[in-house]
Amino acid sequence: MKFVKTDGVSLIEVLVTTLILGIGLLGVAAMQVTSVNSSQEGYYRSQATEIAESVASRMRTTRMSIYDGITTFADVIEDYAGEPYDCSAVKSCIGSDCNDEELVNFDKWQLCQVASRDLPGGEIYVRNVSGLRSRVAVSWDVAQARQDTGQRTILNNQCSSVGVPDNQGKDCVVLEIIP
């Protein structure tokens, strides 16, 4: 029997190598899609945190009106409470005189506009917890789970203690403050 030495690679070896490389590239693409989804959710979370901190700052600024001897901290919390904030138009307090109630309504309108602009389905909830504490939640619609990339579930916060409905597919950031 005569053996023939072959140089190079056979077509089968090339096909197997191409198949393995293709599977690897699909894995890399799936990781990239998951990374983009996670990055987007992280962006939404940071925006929601910024909005919640803005609510807290405005509540703290408004508390300066308590020095009139009539308003209390509980009144300030009650003024900013809402589930969710209403985005309907109010009187503009930029460059005009506004009383305390109009200023609070304008603050709430501005915050609502920011939440609806920066977050998909963005909403703001403020609830009086007890005494001088209030809880601020900023919620948004989460991205759908991607079964094709191996993401089986969506990890989101339970915000029902602040009034965000559980069954709406929303994630949220909760900030507890003392104004």
Tens of pLDDT, residues 148-165: 656 566 555 667 777 777
Least confident of 45-54, 77-86, 123-132, 167-176: 77-86
The predicted structure's pLDDT at residue 74: 72
pTM: 0.74
pLDDT more than 70, % of the chain: 80
The first and second tokens of residue 113, run together, are 């506009």
d(CA 134, CA 29): 44
The predicted structure's pLDDT at residue 17: 92
The predicted structure's pLDDT at residue 21: 95
Q: Mean pLDDT, to the nearest integer, of 80-103? A: 78
Which stretches does DSSP call E strand in the chain? 123-130, 133-141, 170-177
Tens of pLDDT, residues 11-24: 888 899 999 999 99
- Measured CA to CA in angstroms, residue 65 lies from 24, 71, 97 at distances of 63, 7, 15
